[in-house]
Amino acid sequence: MAKPIPKTKIGSRKNGRIGSRKHARKIPKGVIHVQASFNNTIVTVTDVRGRVISWSSAGTCGFKGTRRGTPFAAQTAAGNAIRTVADQGMQRAEVMIKGPGLGRDAALRAIRRSGILLKFIRDVTPMPHNGCRSPKKRRV
């Protein structure tokens, strides 16, 4: 009788595939999240399930201090985040923009120029509504 072949996990240490891949994944569709605050702009690119593929911020692009909140810094951050996913084959994307910062429009302009077709652009900034109704006054 032949011996059964031992099962090894795909990501186990024995077969040497812990973190590296031989070829990059092909991602045709994705979601681009832009979070623009007054101090920084963060651009995150995910697939449709929400797993992060690439991200960049004005701080990681080399801008320091108050220059991180500028539109030019946001444009640079968006260009860096999108350049890596364009090489992986992303063609269509949805854009979610959050926050009141100056980099909103500049980041969107950089995304438009990248050549990726945008399905829709949605503003997901949280809006305050004065909270829930307070409980009734207790009578004794």
- Tens digit of pLDDT at every position of the chain (140 positions): 666 666 555 555 555 555 555 556 788 899 999 999 999 999 999 999 999 999 999 999 999 999 999 999 999 999 999 998 988 889 999 999 999 999 999 999 999 999 899 999 999 999 888 888 889 999 98
Instruction: For the beta carbon of residue 124, count every other beta carbon within 10 angstroms.
Output: 12
Nearest alpha carbon to residue 95 among 118, 68, 71: 118
CATH fold of 27-121 reads Nucleotidyltransferase; domain 5 (3.30.420)
Strands 92-98 and 52-57, by their bridges, are unpaired
Q: How far apart are CA 131 and CA 140, in angstroms?
A: 27
**Which pLDDT does position 71 carry in this prediction?**
95
Strands 41-46 and 117-123, by their bridges, are unpaired
Total-model pTM = 0.76
**Which pLDDT does position 140 carry in this prediction?**
84
* Dihedral class, residue 59 (left if φ above 0, else alpha if ψ from -120 to 50, else beta): alpha
CB 53 within 8 A of CB 47: yes
Q: How far apart are CA 80 and CA 84, in angstroms?
A: 7
